[in-house]
Structure 1
Amino acid sequence: MRAWDEKQLHWHLTTRRFGRQFVYLDEVDSTNRFLKENPEIFTLSGGVLIAGHQSAGRGRQSRLWSDCADSSLLFSLALRLHGQSDSKGMLSLLPAIALGRTIRNHDTGADVELKWPNDVLLSHRKVAGILAESSSTESGETIVIGVGINVNSIPSIEFAWPAISLWQGSAWHPSREVLLAELLNAWEPLFDAYMDGAFDSIRESWEELGPRYGSRMRRVEFNSVSEGEFVGLGLNGQLLLRLSSGEIQEVFSGDIQLQ
């Protein structure tokens, strides 16, 4: 496997906390699982565990996340929370906003769209997925946010949602180290805004990159199916759908299919 270039990461990093502590592993089953079980490896909030390859990467609802070794950016970031427990649903929105903005900053013509709750699309195909999980220890609650980005290739297996790589879908072709640094640079101020309670600003930022207002969507969860129009995000980051009856449905979980 290609060695991780620590100097290149730090050269581009402008954060105060995010990424200032990191561990790189050539291979691990899941960066989220490893970090949840070993929270002591970082003394600062914002520590990052990076993997060259995940043998059992996971997405939402325990779905498989497959990657191409050294061709994907795979990492988990640990956040120690003090307060804001009622709005934790917004935390997984932050890296999606940060990645969408970062791609747009380098390629203004890139067709970037955020898919609720935690996917980033390029040209209507999935380039990144995000999974937020929480764990409690004696020192408090830690939120572990895993991010998987197809950088310069995509896995050969088929997924429910078509995949694309960053290099395929945009004119920006960064290394994994530069991509991580730029993503963390954009993510940290969003997290600071979250901790300051600037939830309206965060929702507006997501909606700027999200689906068009009034887009038709179908929400599926187990045997329950509902359809409606997208009308924004709620106070805690939940999806808001206007049903045919005119009722506004708050969606906190489930699969969202764009129509």
Structure 2
Amino acid sequence: MLKDETLGLLRQAQAPLSGEAMSRALGVSRAAVWKAVTALRSEGYTIDALPGRGYRLSASPDLLSPGELVRPGRRVGGQVVYLDRVDSTNDECRRRAATGAPDGLVVIAGEQTGGKGRRGRSFQSLPGKGLYLSLLLRPDVPLEEVSQLTAWTAVAVCRAVEGLTGLSCSIKWTNDILLEGRKLCGILTELGIEGETGALDYVVAGMGINVSQTAEDFGELAGVAVSLGQCLPAPPRRAQVAGALLEELDRLAGRFPAARADYLAEYRRRCATVGKEVRILRPSGEVRATALAVDDDFSLRVRREDGTEETVTAGEVSVRGLLGYV
């Protein structure tokens, strides 16, 4: 859309842009540029008109406009789809993957009506309060390496949040991001497999980051969930969080799986599960153990109460904490 393209130009400009320069860059008339600027102003963007110099973007509302997020030529973020409301960004990504959507596609929603977590659990997705984002990748790697993408994504989320806010995050094995001991973000990775060959077709990594929720928004989850706004003087704009996250996801996509040692070392450093008592939940029942270490494949090594050790993977079990640990 011309409005998004206009916003993209203004966002990236280092100096005011004249209407003539913008019309040349966009291949449209100056009147069309003026209409796009007017439409952006009506949405809450503050765009100054400086006599003899041009247009300058000076303030932005808390909207998730693709024009603010798209970076042409970038693998992740070169194509961004925004939907006001969707059942699940993961499901939307999978639907688009089935019809040939490209590697690097990003789907963002203002609200999810059917947000989901691991093992069929629901994910709270209040409208306008969080960042609900899914990434489609088509990596040419073995399935056993793709299974590690959740852990890589957890590191990318931590880096994005810390780079933007300065807040220090940790990771609850395997897919939850913690801030001040409470859940800030959940990650769900889903695969698409070719029916005839059994080869990987695509992988979708979905994440939901709490941005501006209050304790009242969380309700009965207030003791275990947290938002960025609760830990900062004011919450960042969702587009700022999305922009920082897309940069880290683009970096991840370019380095996966060659940089495994780098992401593994950081995952281990951030993992808050190691040293904690955990419950290993299997269909056959619950086993109590102590988390010992994250192995080279991002699996979790544990010691049972009888002293025996074993390695568990996210696909096999669900690990939950004891003694009030999330």
The answer as to whether partners of 1:103 and 1:172 remain within 8 angstroms in 2 is: no
d(CA) in 1 for partners of 2:124, 2:183? 13
Moved over 4 A (4+): 40-43, 137-140
Structure-1 separation of matches of 2:241 and 2:100: 22
Q: What's 1:256 paired with?
A: 320
Is the Cα contact below 8 Å between 1:217 and 1:229 reproduced in 2?
A: yes
Cα contact 2:66–2:80 (8 A) shared by 1: no
> How far apart are the structure 2 equivalents of 1:126 and 1:14?
33
Q: How does 1:1-259 map to 2 (within 5 A)?
A: 3-10=63-70, 16-39=74-97, 43-108=101-166, 110-137=167-194, 141-153=201-213, 155-159=217-221, 162-170=224-232, 173-196=235-258, 198-211=259-272, 213-252=274-313, 253-259=317-323
State the SS of the aligned residue for 1:143.
Answer: strand
2:213 partner SS: coil
Tell me if structure 2 keeps the 8 A contact 1:89–1:236: no
Alignment RMSD: 2.7
The structure with higher relative contact order (CA 8 Å, sep 6+) is: 1
Equivalent residue letter for 2:226? I
Find the structure with the greater CA-based Rg.
2
**1:15 and 1:185 in contact (8 A); partners too:** no
What is the letter of the counterpart of residue 175 of structure 2?
N
2:318 maps to amino acid: G
TM-score relative to the length of structure 1: 0.86
Kindly tell me: are residues 238 and 156 of structure 1, through their superposed partners in 2, closer, same or farther at Cα, counting changes over 3 Å?
same
Instruction: Give the conservation status (yes or no) of the 8 Å contact 1:125–1:161.
Output: yes
Per the alignment, residue 18 of structure 2 pairs with: none
Distance (Å, rounded) in 1 between the aligned partners of 2:239 and 2:99:
21
Check 1:65–1:240 CA distance in 2 against 1; reply closer, same or farther (3 A cut).
same
Deviation at 1:213, TM superposition (A): 4.3
Q: Distance in 1 between matches of 2:264 and 2:73?
A: 23
Structure 2: how far apart are the matches of 1:212 and 1:65? 21
SS, match of residue 17 in structure 1: coil
Distance 1:79 1:223, change over 3 A: same
Look up the equivalent residue of 1:143 and give its one-letter code: V
Distance of aligned partners of 1:24 and 1:233 in 2 relative to their CA distance in 1, 3 Å threshold: same
Q: CA deviation at 1:224?
A: 2.6
Aligned partners of 1:59 and 1:102: how far apart in 2?
A: 21
Structure 2 residue ranges without an equivalent (≥5): 1-42, 44-61
CA shift for structure 1 position 40: 5.5
The sequence identity of aligned pairs, in percent, is: 27
Cα deviation for residue 47 of structure 1 reads: 0.7
What's the TM-score, normalizing by structure 2?
A: 0.70
Distance 1:210 1:62, change over 3 A: same
